[in-house]
Structure 1
Amino acid sequence: MLLMALILVVLDGAIANVALPSIAASLNADASHTVWVVSSYQLAVLVALLPCGALGEIFGARRVYLAGVVLFVLASAGCTFAGSLPVLVAARFVQGLGGGAIMALAAMNLRLAVPQRMLGTIIGFNAVTVAASSAAGPAVAGAILSVAHWSWLFAVNIPLGLVILAGGRALHARPGSRKRIDALTLLLNTAMFVLLFWGADRIAEAPLQSAALIAAALACLGAILARERGNPAPIVPTDLLASPAFRIAVIASVMCFAGQMLSYVALPFYLQHTLGMSPGLAGLYMMPWPIATVIMAPISGRLSDRMGTAWLCTCGGTLFAAGLLAVALLPADPWHLVFLLGTVAAGAGFGTFQTPNNHILLLSAPKHRSGAAGAMQGTARLTGQTLGAISMSVIFQTVALGPAPKIALFIAGLCAVAAALASFTRLRFDRTAVPDSGE
């Protein structure tokens, strides 16, 4: 049930891209404005993650999680029946808020529901779910759009969401802390991500305006930290970030996902423009990456229950980097073996890295702070992906289309190297995770 909800949230972040031309034609909207159908959802998830993690600790993980499912289902109905682009964008934003609650508290609910000895394996299946759902998004959207109106992309969430709600009654109903949450801090958190997202979106077109917006976002972060100083359970989990193991794992996750997003955007251009493949053939050549990730993530999860996670993350990050750098630096061959071997290595390395890194993010936090840990895990992933998308946009703005994909893959490889090096520095903290004592 938890994995089904996660599938819905990840799929809805990946399926709308394919439908944008259909949405523009159906709603008589400008194509450039339809991008907000995707962006509003991503922004709302980012806005919701940290507050929902805190709310889950205050009111109980099950209660806030299921409230997120309800919001997600209702907003999906709003998307289904939207008659104009502004209504659809607004409904997508609300849907993202519900998705943020689901993502933030999935880890906390897993930790409450699963025995300690099985957490690594379950986190591995969680990573497989995210990777497979993300990779399958375009194919699922294409299949639905080939037989139905674009609104069915969102309508299918309604019956599935109702099934998740029915199954949610079985979740562990751990009582919350009943602490109060600061409304101004919530507003500052929202403003921080809106300004950051807006500034990032303007970085290539208006660098000075972008810098001012990002500076304002940082000022909001400073105000949040000042208001929450001394709070034992802050929205921005500075108490958890004070732990070296947790802090390093967050940094490594950001770098890893930045490399992943850079690669995912660059590879189709490399295959179609550099190697001259058709879109269909390019899609087939991109499949080995997610397949390798799906295979390695649960294996890495089982290993993380038995050995140091820092070694696994270091090896995974190194393999991820080697695959990307091979594709970026080695000349293409007539059979595309370099590309295939490189992307298989990158996918296997990504899967090997991600599961144990999530494992340490969850287990280096006390159980009563699992909501904040899960929210920070999601925030790190989305922050990295946003940085990767921004970097790709800047590369396309400053470099000719021909060399741009390989430059992006090289930078993605450097991001993977940074993730591996960060994980290597965690070796001395590998045994410092807080025991699963129930507190």
Structure 2
Amino acid sequence: MSKNSNVTDKKNTEIQKQGIGYKWTALFNITLSSLMGTINSSIILISLPAIFNGIKLNPMEPEAFQYLLWTLMGYGLVTATILLSIGRLADMYGRVKLFRLGFLIFTIGSVLLYLTPDTGNTGALELIIFRIIQAVGGAFTMANGAAIITDVFPAGERGKALGINMVALMSGQFIGLLLGGILATYNWRYVFLVNIPFALLGTILSYRKMKEVSFRAPKTSIDIVGNLFFIGGLTSLLVGVTYGLMPYEHNGITDAMGWSNPLVIATVGIGILLLIAFPFVESRVKNPMFRLEFFKIRAFTYANLASFTAAIARGGIMFMLILLLQGIWLPLHGYRFEDTPFWAGIYMLPMTLGFIIMGPISGILSDKYGPRWIATAGMTLVTLVFVGLAMLPYNFDYWELGILIFLMGIGSGMFSSPNTSSIMNSVPPQDRGVASGMMSTLMNSASTLSMAVFFTIVIVGIQGAFPEAIHSSFASLGSQITPTMQELADQLASMSPTNALFSAFLGYNPMDSILSSMGSGIVNTIPQQIVTTLTDNYWFPQTLQEAFMPALRISFIIGAVLSGMAAVLSAMRGQLYVYEIHSSTSDISSDISSDISSDISKDSIARADERAQI
């Protein structure tokens, strides 16, 4: 019997000693971490107006925008940059050990957020720093969750287990929206307090119930050079992208976005150069953190490429849908601006339901038939949904949007669970941590880049069309136009489209702030009927949609193209490939579908056996 067979038998014995229910205990704890993470993300999204009010920071002030953007994007930026390193460390020192540490760090971050002592800009900076601490804890759990599930569940049940975990991810988003909408009405600090019981429970359970049963990679030296190139490159790129979304003032001119800012150009350029150099560095160091040889595995390569492309299509577009609801559709249908964040979450519920329904089902089906065609069909459905979204008018009936986003949830559920299972099944057991880190890094980076791509498209579109829409709306008022009204129209036309969108996103009618900034003396010269018209729920959303909708449709079309590319990449992965170390070479690579004999040749099994012995 081979050495690898003895190692496998030992690991199987260790799992059996934990009892038949241990795998479900592990799944419960990992699902709890997923639920906690997504609740934390969406509860912040929905509670930002209350949080900004609580720390006494006016979101319409120019300097407030950078705090807003870092509060939204800082968490994802930090997790994206450190996931890969954590995955490699977990393979060497134990996935459960680092998973436990993640729960503990997240708990500390949540407590600090609840206790945020200061207000104003200082308070906002403290919130960002404490969110970064949370992000470090979240990265420890995120990098190891899928790997631990793959460790404790047999190949025939991994899709189902990962599907259950995916349901927690989507459910947490909806639960966070509800909790945020309710808790923020009482006290903004409760938004962070609600995380603490989840985090404490997860910390206690992970230390008391979870045991280390994973294959360990040999303990080697840390790839310091690779870490510097990767973390430095990705951080520089994502920081540049973040500041590229902010207004840029130069020579008395304010650009709506910062892409012409020399700092943005420099950081993005440095980031791209470092990331281009990273694979060459990794191919030469002794113990690389990024396992380039995994890309020789067809299932791993195409599943990750499909996931990356799908994340670019999905990440920013979801934000654009929320802007459509909060900034245009909900106010036009009688909802107060301050209520729109909560109701936007409610109206996005069909997407969550679709995912919850299909996530576990697709996982079970992929265990039985393989992930290839289930995942491909899912992304094909998402492609068609994007086309449907591009055809929607701004004053659509809700049932039209509800059906489309429900189908998008179905398609995403069909894709996510089988695709994750495909990636985790394709790598050697002792390298599942770094594989999970690579997968999560690609997804998080794609989501952040997606925000930049689609937000830029929309802002550029609005910047060109918004002034004309403003003057057209004022002209429709006819004989009531006065010199003061013309001055107001010019001021509105020069308003930053970024501020216009984010005011709607935060539940503010920007017309109230603009009229207040003009002073009561000027406002009193405007007929009261006009003031009432300008500040009601209808005038600004009706005007904004003229500039917003064409750009949004372009975004949807790009989303459809990217989703179609993801579907093609998904189909190219081949049939199910499971990398397992067994005493018999015939068990190393298996295809659960009925046509195994035509898809896996003896030569490929021999190559898999060779890899297993390395």
TM-score, normalised to structure 2, is 0.66
Partners in 1 of 2:195 and 2:228 — Cα distance? 29
Write the distance in 2 (CA, Å) between the matches of 1:128 and 1:77.
27
Q: In structure 2, do the counterparts of structure 1 residues 274 and 112 end up closer, same or farther at CA, with 3 Å as the change threshold?
A: same
For 1:295, which of 357, 369, 377 is the aligned residue?
357
Give the counterpart of 1:264 among 302, 318, 334. 318
Amino acid at match of 2:320: A
Q: Is 1:179–2:207 an aligned residue pair? A: no
Q: Which moved more, 1:351-360 or 1:388-397?
A: 388-397
Q: Structure 1, residues 71-105: CA drift from partner, whole Å, max 9, x if none?
A: 11112222221222322221211210111111001
Q: Secondary structure at the match of 1:376?
A: helix
Aligned to 1:194: 235
Question: Does the aligned pair in 2 maintain the 1:54–1:371 contact within 8 Å?
Answer: yes
Q: Distance in 2 between matches of 1:282 and 1:64?
A: 36
Gaps of 5+ in 2: 1-28, 58-62, 118-122, 245-256, 462-546, 583-587, 589-611
- After TM superposition, the runs of 4+ consecutive aligned structure 1 residues lying more than 6 A away are none
Which of these residues, 425, 429, 454, is aligned with residue 363 of structure 1? 425
User: How far, CA to CA, are the matches of 2:395 and 2:268 in structure 1?
Assistant: 43
Partner of 1:206: 259
Q: CA deviation at 1:248?
A: 1.2
Q: Is the 8 A contact 2:458 2:555 kept in 1?
A: no
In structure 2, the residue matched to 1:157 is: 195
| Displacement after TM superposition at 1:335 (Å) | 4.3
User: What is the RMSD computed on CA atoms of the aligned residues?
Assistant: 2.4
8 A Cα contact 1:13 1:42, kept in partner: no
The equivalent of 1:61 in structure 2 is 95
Q: String of CA shifts for 1:241-291, please: whole Å, max 9, x gaps.
A: 232321211111122122222331222344452684443665443221111
- Aligned-partner Cα distance in 2 for 1:237–1:340: 42
Q: Which residue of structure 2 lines up, in the alignment, with residue 273 of structure 1? A: 328
**Alignment match, 1:128:** 167
Whether contact under 8 Å (1:54, 1:234) holds in the other structure is: no
CA deviations on 1:43-65 (whole Å, 9 max, x unpaired) are 21112211110110111111111
Equivalent-residue separation in structure 2 for 1:164 and 1:285 (angstroms):
30
Letter in 1 for 2:32: M
Matched, 1:416 2:450: no
Unaligned runs of 5+ in 1: none
Cα contact 2:159–2:366 (8 A) shared by 1 = yes
Alignment check: 8 A CA contact 1:332 1:339 kept: no
Tell me which residue corresponds to 1:105: 144
Q: Distance in 2 between matches of 1:56 and 1:64?
A: 6
> Quick one: structure 1 residues 344 and 27, their matched pair in 2 at CA, closer, same or farther if it must change by over 3 Å?
closer
Q: Does 2:65 correspond to 1:32?
A: yes
Say if 1:420 and 1:51 are closer, same or farther in 2 by CA, change over 3 A.
Answer: same
SS of alignment partner, residue 404 of structure 2: helix
Pick closer, same or farther for the CA change 1:184–1:150 going to 2, 3 Å.
farther
Cα drift, residue 113 of structure 1? 2.1
Partner of 2:529: none
Among 43, 46, 50, the alignment partner of 2:77 is: 43
Amino acid paired to 1:161:
A
- The amino acid across from 1:261 in the alignment is G
More deviation, 192-201/80-89: 80-89
Check conservation: 1:296, 1:348, Cα contact below 8 A: yes
Structure 1 residues 225 and 283: CA distance shift in structure 2, 3 A? closer
Tell me whether 272-281 or 168-177 shows the greater mean CA deviation: 272-281
Greater Cα offset, 351-360 or 400-409: 400-409
- State the match for 1:389 in structure 2: 451
Q: Which of residues 395, 406, 430 is equivalent to 1:344? A: 406
Tell me how far apart the structure 2 counterparts of residues 309 and 98 of structure 1 sit (CA, whole Å).
31
Maintained 8 Å contact 2:394/2:549: no
Deviates more, 1:329-338 or 1:68-77: 329-338
Of stretches 189-198 and 297-306 in structure 1, the one that deviates more from structure 2 is: 189-198
Check if 1:225 corresponds to 2:240: no
Q: CA deviation at 1:231?
A: 5.4
Partner Cα distance (2:165, 2:236) in 1: 31
Query: Alpha carbons of 1:436 and 1:303: their partners in 2 closer, same or farther (altered >3 Å)?
Result: farther
Percent same amino acid at aligned positions?
Answer: 24
Q: 1-side partners of 2:408 and 2:376: how far apart?
A: 13
Shift of 1:338: 3.5
Taking a change above 3 Å as real, the CA distance of residues 151 and 95 of structure 1, as seen in their structure-2 partners, is same
Q: Aligned partners of 2:451, 2:233: CA distance in 1, in Å?
A: 19
1:200, 1:221 → 2: CA distance? 15
Of 61, 75, 82, the match for 2:116 = 82
Q: TM-score, normalised by structure 1?
A: 0.91
> Offset at 1:351?
0.7
Counterpart CA distance in 2 for 1:172 and 1:233 is 27
The match for 1:402 is 549
Q: How many residue pairs are counted as aligned between the two chains?
A: 436
C-alpha separation in 1, matches of 2:426 and 2:287: 15
Q: Which moved more, 1:127-136 or 1:55-64?
A: 127-136
